[in-house]
Homo-oligomer: A and B are copies of this chain.
Amino acid sequence: MSTVTNRLYRLRSRPTGEVTADNLEWTEESVPEISRGQALIRTHYLSVDPTNRVWMSDMRSYIPPVELDAVMRGAGVGQVVASLREDLPVGAHVVGLTGWQDYCVADAAREDLPFTVLPDPLPAPLPAFVGVLGHTGISAYLGVEFGDPKPGETMLVSAAAGAVGSIAGQLAKRRGARVVGIAGGAEKCRYVVGKLGFDACVDRRADDWRTQLDLATPQGIDVDFENVGGEIMDHVLGRLNVGARITLCGLISEYNDYDGTDTQHGLRNVSQLLMQRAQLRGFIVFDHVDRYAEIIGQLSHDLSQGALISEDTVVSGLENARDTLNRSIAGEYRGKVVVKVVD
């Protein structure tokens, strides 16, 4: 292996705003040797998630920030290419925190960095295991469960064309709820309604998005599946019905703004949480590992029955991961975004 290089990103400084090449250095190193209790994983697909941006900041978060000079943290799917671990045989496909690199070491002693072996043969394409059958699909499932939209109720989904929102809306639709999405651009909105089956979708890039949102939610909003935050969420708060539930899954609009001071937009319309006696629940999928198997089983079943549509955006080349993250946060993609690392 010594002639093969490991291409990777190291976090050299904490970004403000978009992630630059100075923040996240693209470099080449030698592939690590493995020792007893370790396996070497070749990354096939890297998962690109807005929450990666949180990990680069020193915001108080659900996970420690990536340390400066460390390899960038990231989820990925790959294959075992060398192994001194019986539970990770060579050739096995695995999912775990591969990091933003070609090769990583899966060390049995690192309980904080587990790798899960995928079924053989694979029941779905590899990217699905960081998407609809991975942490984004599970987030969608859990968030809908927490928000509990009932038949006839209206659930709003922000970032509706995204990895989590696209699944969440479909799950809520099957519960009999009216589902209204918010997405960036007319094309995404057509996709959300025409392909994913939402009842309506509001184009947040249109000047009249507030009016669109009002017209699309004539009976108000009972559940807000919140992925974005900021001024859109503020407007949503103004349309909550009494007893509304907010399932707080992400705050994408805030991630680039945090610099340790008071610069985040936050929310102005907080009083509506009181006035409408709303319940808000923040959740992080990694707290619910005990539910993964059950939920993946359910989502796999739905997928195989054609009852759930999941489309991935695949960007080729690990060298494009940083740019892909910036574009993802800017809302340029739809569905789950992965970087294809191996041709």
Whole-angstrom CA separation of A238 from B273 in the bound complex: 19
- Which of A174-182, A246-254, A323-331 is near enough to bind chain B? A246-254
Task: Give the oligomeric copy count.
Answer: 2
Shortest C-beta distance, A266 to chain B (Å), equals 4
Whole-angstrom CA separation of A44 from B258 in the bound complex: 53
Across the interface, A268 reaches (CB within 8 A) one of B238, B250, B264, B273, namely B264
- Which of A115-123, A150-158, A281-289, A314-322 is near enough to bind chain B? A281-289
- Which of A13-21, A28-36, A58-66, A210-218 is near enough to bind chain B? A58-66
Shortest C-beta distance, A251 to chain B (Å), equals 5
For residue A342, CB closer than 8 A to chain B, the reply is: no
For residue A293, CB closer than 8 A to chain B, the reply is: no
**Chain B residues with CB under 8 A of A270:** 229, 251, 254, 264, 266-267
Question: Are B268's CB and A262's CB within 8 A?
Answer: yes
Question: Are B62's CB and A271's CB within 8 A?
Answer: no
Whole-angstrom CA separation of A265 from B262 in the bound complex: 12
Interface centre among A61, A229, A268 (most CB of B within 10 A): A268
Across the interface, A264 reaches (CB within 8 A) one of B61, B271, B281, B284, namely B271
**Chain B residues with CB under 8 A of A62:** 242, 274-277
Shortest C-beta distance, A262 to chain B (Å), equals 5
A/B interface sample: 25 pairs, CB < 8 A:
A59-B275, A60-B238, A60-B272, A62-B242, A62-B275, A229-B270, A248-B273, A248-B274, A251-B271, A251-B274, A262-B268, A264-B268, A264-B270, A264-B271, A265-B268, A266-B267, A266-B268, A266-B270, A274-B283, A274-B284, A277-B281, A277-B287, A278-B280, A279-B279, A280-B281
